Amino acid sequence: MATPIGHRGDITLRALVTLSSADVIACEDTRNSGALLAHYGIKKKQLISYHDHNADGRRPEILKHIAEGASVALISDAGMPLIADPGYKLVRDCRDAGYDVVVIPGANAAITALAGSGLPTDHFYFAGFLPPKSTARQKAIAALQAAPATLVFYESPQRLADTMQDLAKVLGGARLAAVARELTKLYEETRRGTLQELADFYEDADVKGEIVIIVAPPDADAAPAHDLDALLKQHMAELSLRDAVAAVCALTNIKKSEVYARALKLSGKE
């Protein structure tokens, strides 16, 4: 069941009733969840930690409680469990064993950020956390380059600047985007701009807190010449013209003849 992503008012009545009546609560961090239960005046429960690093070992123990007749509530440190945590394997195993699974919906950072971004919401793709290393990250971003959907990423404050640079480099600096920080909390903010503007802003910013990045879908009509120019200039500064063209073709899926012609023009060789 969902718990708040910040503001403690963002929990449903049903979640509170269910937490109060559960026999066991599986959660990521037992101290966090203990404090959350205390905040709502819910009496002490058996808490079992279930997170990325112990999930495989803990599932049999949790399933045993259910087999013995206990009701088990699954919560995460924040928001909707299963979204960027190992919860789905527990649900899978419960379903496979024929146990009832009831989802109690509520707060989620991706949906909250998307709703406040002012970017298209009709189609969106939740991509979770990007890889921490730049080469793998750029590859992962390139795979999403043509997706006809708004892209939603979770990111840490330490990596935000590098990730924004990679997003601008691979997707082109002109795409609209938003960075949502500390949603529902005291220092909540959503900053909007082009990817390049946001990359420039966060390059030197000392960012703290929790972050969601939203990137608008590619605009087929815009097929922006200045995006292509920016990408080419970046690559031509480091590579030969031929390699720069190959790299930009791989990143953008724009026809090689078009990229080559543009590269010749920029290099003054045309």
Single residue of 10, 29, 93, 182 touching ligand SAM by CB under 6 A: 182
Q: Is residue 168 within 8 Å of residue 213, measured between CB atoms?
A: no
Minimum distance between the CB of residue 80 and ligand SAM, rounded to whole angstroms?
Answer: 4
- CB atoms under 10 Å from CB of 83, counted, come to 18
Single out the segment in contact with ligand SAM by CB under 6 A; choices: 37-45, 95-103, 108-116, 117-125.
108-116
Show the DSSP H helices in 40-122 as ranges: 55-67, 87-96, 109-117
Joined together, the tokens standing for residue 103 give 């989802």
Show the DSSP H helices in 118-237 as ranges: 134-143, 160-171, 195-203, 225-236
Single residue of 47, 78, 178, 216 touching ligand SAM by CB under 6 A: 78
Q: Which of residues 9-68 bind ligand SAM (CB under 6 A)?
A: none
Q: Does 74 bind ligand SAM (CB under 6 A)?
A: no
**In 3-state terms, what secondary structure has residue 190?**
strand
Q: Does 109 bind ligand SAM (CB under 6 A)?
A: yes
Single residue of 73, 80, 199, 228 touching ligand SAM by CB under 6 A: 80
163 or 252: whose CB is closer to ligand SAM? 163
Q: Does 145 bind ligand SAM (CB under 6 A)?
A: no
| Burial class, 29, CB count within 10 angstroms (exposed 0-12 / middle 13-18 / buried 19+) | middle
Q: What residues make contact with ligand SAM under the rule CB under 6 A?
A: 5-6, 76, 78-80, 83-85, 108-110, 154-156, 180, 182-185, 210-212
